Amino acid sequence: MKIPEILIVETVHQPGSLAKVLQVIADAGLVIEHLTALKREQGRTQWEITLEMDDSADHKLYERIDRLPTARFVGKSDRVFNRHRGGKLRVTASLPINTQQVLRDIYTPGVARVCLAIRDDPERAWDYTSLGRTVAVITNGTAILGLGDIGPLAGLPVMEGKAALFASLVGINGIPILIDDKEPRRVVDTIMAIEKSFGAIQLEDFAAPACFEIEAELRRRLTKPVLHDDQHGTAVVVLAALHNAARHAGRRLEDSTIGQIGLGAAGLGIVRLLRAHGAVRILGADRSEAALLRLEALGGKRATLEEIMAGCDVVVATTGVKGLIREELVRPGQVILALSNPDPEIEPIVALERGAAFAADGKGINNVLGFPGLFKGALDARAPCFTDRMLMAAAHSIAALAPRDDLVPDPLDPEVHAAVAGAVQNAATKASS
């Protein structure tokens, strides 16, 4: 697995000194993700160089940099850890509490009036508490990123990241919840015991197949939006990207033969939404017989990886297996989304060199484009659940906002998330009218 390594390197301030360092990095077969000049003084410049290095990378790189006559390896940066120090979240009051009168209104005795009003009409909680802008971000840590079952506590930084994106991109509260249990029924019962604190439930990084049972049971028992983001958030962004890729390639997605390699939570979520959108021919590959049976229940047909690469116009991979798709399998004109993070099944540049019409990985096709607006729109509509109409509205909104030559728009553009939220709210409102 590729993990960011952030090097601090000092170079003499003269022509070619930085170039020599970059050449050493290139000779090691590494790609620079980011380069920043930190400071310059007394004829020397200190650089922060971000690389992605896996276990196979040659760590003698540091020694080779140090041997350059115009450079010195200083050490490694703690930038990532520094940005996590103390956590990525904090709770702040939504109004200034600066007088005795404010204190008496928002706490005791004034708050009693609001409590009694909600007792008499529970719907008023949406107006007079944060319920309508608060999402529980819940995990049991069984499928964290590409790291696997590392436990709920180790997954907390991811949940905090999701919550921080909710706050930053759409102005709603995400509250991380960790459940130290893998048995689906107990997980559901735990969530049911705390669900009244939240307007919606986001399930995150629950492993298949338990994730399907957990989400289905929560949807059956709750009248509020529940979404397993690994399934449906990913599917929304994939549908948006494929809509644009098919249009650029001069074909209709509904008329294309689509291959889905990997039928875990993300893969089956993608198949399900594509089928709901009108895709007719979907082939799927997985090592699990249970996953293949779920594919067939959704109307897909089982196939091998080789059959998919030979016969499909569009290929989506969500296996978590680095380099699974061999370059010689790529056919000219194919659309290939290799979405496993941090290491894709095939590097997009390799797929493009082999003739793919479009290729992307999970860094570009990322569900951060979907889940903030999905939940904001659902909460604003006070929707009792997520529907396919809402998911497809989100996908079409994302697709429409992509720059002309891109498959999806910038995930940090607040206008994108506002548009997605509006589209989801409209879809939910129309469904209830």
So which residues are the catalytic ones? 107, 162
- The amino acid at residue 300 is G
Nearest to 347 by CA among 116, 2, 42: 2
For residue 5, give Cα distances in angstroms to 46, 58, 159: 16, 12, 22
| Contact between residue 375 and residue 200 where contact means Cβ atoms under 8 Å apart | yes
Sequence-distant (≥ 6) Cβ neighbours of residue 99 within 8 angstroms: none
Q: Report the C-alpha gap between 228 and 389 in whole angstroms.
A: 16
CA atoms within 13 A on the CB side of 55: 2
The candidate with the shortest Cα–Cα distance to 241, out of 283, 282, 270, 284, is: 270
Within a 10 A sphere around the Cβ of 39, how many other Cβ atoms? 9
Q: Distance between CA 383 and CA 49 in Å, rounded?
A: 46
Q: Nearest CA to 234 among 143, 336, 370?
A: 370
Contacts of 238 (CB under 8 A, 6+ apart): 270, 273, 316, 337, 339, 365
User: Measured between alpha carbons, how far is 226 from 375 in angstroms, rounded to an integer?
Assistant: 9
Tell me the C-alpha distance between 325 and 328, whole Å: 8
